[in-house]
Structures are given as structure tokens and as C-alpha cells.
Chain A
Amino acid sequence: MGTNRITSRRKFFKASAALIGGTLAVSFMKPLGLMAQTDSDDNTKEKDKLPLWGMGVDIEKCIGCGKCAEACKIENNVPKEPFYFRTWIEQYTVKNDGEVKIESPNGGIGGLSQSVPNEDIFKSFMVPKLCNHCTNAPCVQACPVGATYISPEGVVLVDDTYCIGCSYCIQACPYGARFMNPVTKVADKCTFCYHRISEGLQPACVEVCPTDARVFGDLHDKKSDLVKFLQENPTEILKPHLNTKSRVFYNGLSSEVR
């Protein structure tokens, strides 16, 4: 009797283990791409034909008018409160004594003005910021459900219907480019105006810039304005030591900028 019971108990645990193991295996197979061979050669070729979007920012041209940040908020329905920005402009002022003052009241919307007296200024410049659309995006790596992903054109996007709102991606972004949208309650960020660029238009911030400080284009297209910008200027990306391999390139980036 006892032996039979023990045997039945063994069977019970074996069956339970098989059930749990099976469920886990299926859960892991999907993200690892083991369930279906979707990445065929055809897809790879298709991907090569697609553009690879990027942006150049010419710090020497930016005048801090804030039109880009304003246009972005209107175009993308970003809450108008000064805590939510898909793009913003930072004003750097290096004083004669070496102290660096950084300001970005309301993300630069309405225009930035200088608060340091002229005689104390060593140099001053504006730095537009946005999502850097990293090749090695830490936010994409961190997202527990895969709601944030890199589109085939290299744009880092968020699936609003899938994001669970854990904020892990916001913690993982080194550039402060993400925020929790108080209306949709999902992570929000610059999409390079994906809805516009898919129609052959420019992102809203690029469109409104009066000095052409932002250059948007296809990194695959050797004749694009962006590729020309990269050829003609010594550009740098933000926080290169983090190996994010971002696709937003700055010309005239000073060492004070983080």
C-alpha cells in the first residue's frame, strides 16, 4: 500500500514537473525566436532596402528659440506641463571662473534668455536634446515585456497597448529622454515623428527649426543631408562611454555637455 502511494506520488510530481517545464519552455521559446523561423533571408534583404533614420544636431546653429520643443508638443500631443518632453533645449553658460550653469526652463519653449551678466560669461551655447535612438538601446534591453523596441528603420518606439508602466526603461535611459505620460500611463518618448517620416515628411522639430540646426535623414543613403552633415563635420554622440551607439550626432559638442 505504502509503496503504491509512493509510486503514485512520484508520478504526480513527474506530471507536475512536466507541466511546469512545458509552460516555461513555451514562454522562453517565443522571445528567443525558436517557435517560428521569421528572420528569413528575404526579410534581411528587405531590411537593407529600408532607410536607417538618424539625426544631426549643429550646436553652432541653435539659437535656443524653443520652436522645436513647442512644435513637438503640439504635433505629438505631449502634455503641456513642464515635466514632459520628447525634445528640449539646454542652455550652457561657462562663466569666467569656470563654473558651468545649465538651464532649460520649460524645456526652452518660449525661447531661452541669458541670466548670467555678459561680463561674467566665458562662453555660452545651446544643446537640443531628444531620444538618441540608440543602436544598443538600454531601454529596449530593460523592458520586461518587449513593449519598447527598435523598428526596422532604427527608430526606438513604444507599443502603447502593451507597456505595463513599470518605468524600468525610464531608469535605464542614460539621457533622460523618456517620461511616463500622465494621460496614457505608458512610457513616452521621441519617435522621430514616425507618423510623419513614414509619409516622407520631416519630423516636426526639424521642419520648424529656423536655422537648420537639426538635420534628419537616412544613414543608408549616401546622398542624404545627414550623411553629408556627418562627412563635413567632426561629430560626436552623447555619453559614448556607455556604448549605446546612438544615432543622434552632435557637431560642436563641448565637454561640459552630458
Chain B
Amino acid sequence: MEEHFQHLYQALSQVDGYIYPNEIDLHWGLMIVLYPYITGLVAGAFILASLERVFHVKVLKPTYGLALLTALAFLLVATMPLVSHLQHPFRSYEIFMTPNSTSAMAIFGFVYLWYLMAVLLLEIWFDYRRDFVIWSKTSKGFKKIFYKVITLGINDIDEKSAKLDDRLGYFITVIGIPSAFLLHGYVGFIFGSIKANPWWSTVLMPIIFLFSAMVSGVALVMLIYMVVNWVRKVDIDMKCLDTIARYLLFILIIDFTLESLDQIHRIYEAEESFDIIRVLVSGKLNITLAVMQVGLGTIFPLSVLGLFQFYKPSEKIRKVFYFLIGGMVLVGIFFMRWNVVIGGQLFSKSLSGFTSFKTVYSGMEGSVMAAVWLILPLLILSFLLWLMPPWKKVAYHE
């Protein structure tokens, strides 16, 4: 506790203008930045998978299974930053037991569960069920036991049952698209519905969160696809990669347009809070917003991807740029979440001053812990790819 007080005394000495005395302690740190970031990656990856399944963009076939497993790996970790941020993590189950029906955060728990249980797990299960049956006969040891158990005793692999799996899988994906929209739109609503905070309180917040989620999820799957093929020493399907990049460009354009609209609207209306928000954007958020989010994460990727639509350099160069852009977009979206979560707490609700935020390394809210929550899904994904490699699937939906 003493360390926390020291940290607060330091923050107190850096207060600029006037802030309410209770505002020196900044309550939402790195963990709450990660929460919408990871949830967004889930929603984005799932939507990319749905493009292939529902909208029949067959060229994206090589990334379908990969995108689904990526979504699952990140979804399993999505609530961890939230829970580890709680002051009483062991009471977190109360959100499910006695949810407050007027609370955006309470209802998110159910949206999350719905998405995990009713959409993602079921879709993956229907997609893999026939493979599980076949693999359970050809594998040994742990894998054999796992495949046997996960079939849930349903071992028929004839054409009729495959068709049923396919139909149900398709049906779940169709439900899954609005569910993915709901999942991340809802995260946006958690912030957008806070009328006390003018930086958050905008009706555009859910839709901005949704499109930025799609941007980050598509970029992540693009990167993972490249890395996985590189590890497997398999050629990258350039048609597939070019198509993902084109989708990334389209979604980036929509995302950038929406975010610009939000800012233009603020500037033009210039409400009471505008003065302090202007100082926030040009000062405290200068690097994270103008450089990281807009410059690195948006303008550069937009320019290169746009250029590639008219002029296509060699495959080798394209691959290098796609890899670079994937990484930049992921960094850019991370800072978009940062600018929302941290940025919204840097200025006082008295609209008369600023506090400061300093990342710490250790502790539940520290950057080491944040790295753990970002690396863990990748480890889970590696395990899932080992356990149920999409490229070894025998059965495949139509």
C-alpha cells in the first residue's frame, strides 16, 4: 500500500490545473486497455472466418480454421485482464449470479458467455466433429483420448451426418456474425454509455469499437497465417493474402472515416468539454494518438494497401509489407484502446485540469502482467493448432 501511496504522491505533484481530489488515483490502467483490445481481436478474427463460411469468399479458405482457433484462443483469455483488475476478484462470479440489469458491464458477462458457448465452441465443434472421429482412430496417447471425449460419443461420419454438421455449422455462423457484432459493440457501449465522461460518451463508440475490432482481428489472422506457414515451411497462398489485405484496406477506410467523423463532430460542435479535450489531444495524447494510432496504425497502412490496389510489386515485397502493416495495425489499435481508456481518465471531470499516468512493471496491473495476457493466447493457439491442425482436416464444409 505504501508503494501505491508514493505513486499517488508523485502523481499529485504532476497535476496540471485542478482535478477533483479523488481523481488522482487513476482507476483503469493497462488491464482495461487490454480488455477491449483482446475482445476486439476475437470479434475481428471471427468475422474474417465468417466471410469465407457465410459470404462464400472461397479464396479465404486457408485462413478459415486458423481464424476460428485464433478467436477461441483469445476469447479464453479475454476476461482475464478484467478479473485480475478487480479489487475483489473472488467475488467476480456475482456478475452472473446477481447481475444488475441496468449495468452495461453486467450484461457483457452474458454476451461473452453466449458468444463462447453458443457460437464459437459449437461452430468449431461442428466443423471438426468428423475429423475428431477420424483422428480418434488414427492417433495415439493423449490426442486419442481427447478426440474420443470431444466427439461426445457421436461417431457417425457418413455423408448424411456430415451434411447435418455442415448445415448446423452454417446456421451457427449466421447467428455468430450478429453475436460478434454484439460482443464488441457492447464493449464500446460500456464506454460510450458513461455520460459523465465526454471523451467516452458518444453514440459512435460501439460502432467505432466494432470496426477497429475488425481491423485488428483481420490484421492478426493475416500475421498468424504468414507465421504459421513460415513455421510449417509451406508456401503462402498469395491470392488469399492479397484478399485479406484488400479487406483490411476496406475496413480501415470505414474505421478511419468513423473516427474522423467523431473528431470532426466534436470540433464542430465545440461543446463545454471541447477546450480540455483539445488540450488532451494535442498534449497528453500527442504521441499515442497522432503518431501511434493515426500515423503508424492507420495512415501508413492505408497508403501502402491503397497503393497495392493499383500497383502490385513482387510477391516478396508484398509479403514484407503485409507483415509490417499487420504489426503496425495491431500496435495502432492497441494505442486506440489506450487513447480511449487512459485518455478518458487523464482529464478531470471538473474539466479544469489533468492528472498523469505512469505504467508500472510489476503487480497485477503492470506491464509484465499485460505481456502475459498477450502471450498466453498465442500459446493457447499453438496448442490448439497442434491438437487440431486445420491443414490436416479431412472433412471440410462446402
A residues lining the B interface (CB < 8 Å): 1-3, 5-6, 8-9, 12, 20, 24, 27-28, 30-32, 81-85, 88, 90, 100-104, 106-107, 129, 138, 140-146, 162-168, 170-180, 182-183, 185-186, 242, 258
Residue of A nearest to B104 (CB): A142
Known: A83-B22, A164-B91, A176-B350. A144 touches B161 (CB 8 A): no
Contact A165 B88 (CB under 8 A): yes
Known: A146-B98, A164-B88, A180-B87. A6 touches B352 (CB 8 A): no
Q: A84 to chain B: which residues have CB within 8 Å?
A: 21-22, 25
Q: What would 9 A/B residue contacts be, using CB atoms closer than 8 Å?
A: A27-B98, A83-B5, A104-B18, A146-B103, A164-B91, A164-B95, A166-B105, A171-B194, A175-B20
Q: Does B360 contact A (CB under 8 A)?
A: no
Q: Produce 1/0 per residue, B137-178, CB < 8 A to A.
A: 000000000000000101110101100100000000000000
Q: How far is the CA of A30 from the CA of B106 in the complex (A)?
A: 14
Nearest CB in chain A: distance from B122 CB, A: 9
Q: How far is the CA of A173 from the CA of B358 in the complex (A)?
A: 23
Q: B351 to chain A: which residues have CB within 8 Å?
A: 258
Q: How far is the CA of A186 from the CA of B155 in the complex (A)?
A: 51
Contact A174 B152 (CB under 8 A): no
Q: A183 to chain B: which residues have CB within 8 Å?
A: 1
Q: Does B281 contact A (CB under 8 A)?
A: no
Q: A101 to chain B: which residues have CB within 8 Å?
A: 18
Contact A83 B25 (CB under 8 A): yes
Contact B88 A32 (CB under 8 A): no
Residue of A nearest to B196 (CB): A174
Q: A3 to chain B: which residues have CB within 8 Å?
A: 160
In the A-B complex, the 9 residue pairs with the smallest Cβ-Cβ separation, listed nearest first, are A165-B87, A176-B20, A174-B196, A102-B18, A144-B106, A185-B87, A167-B27, A144-B105, A146-B100
Q: Produce 1/0 per residue, B11-49, CB < 8 A to A.
A: 010000111111111011000000000000000000000
Q: Does B92 contact A (CB under 8 A)?
A: yes
Q: Does B4 contact A (CB under 8 A)?
A: yes
Q: How far is the CA of A20 from the CA of B113 in the complex (A)?
A: 10
Q: B160 to chain A: which residues have CB within 8 Å?
A: 2-3, 6
Q: B104 to chain A: which residues have CB within 8 Å?
A: 142
Contact A145 B100 (CB under 8 A): yes
Contact A173 B196 (CB under 8 A): yes
Q: How far is the CA of A30 from the CA of B158 in the complex (A)?
A: 46
Nearest CB in chain B: distance from A163 CB, A: 7
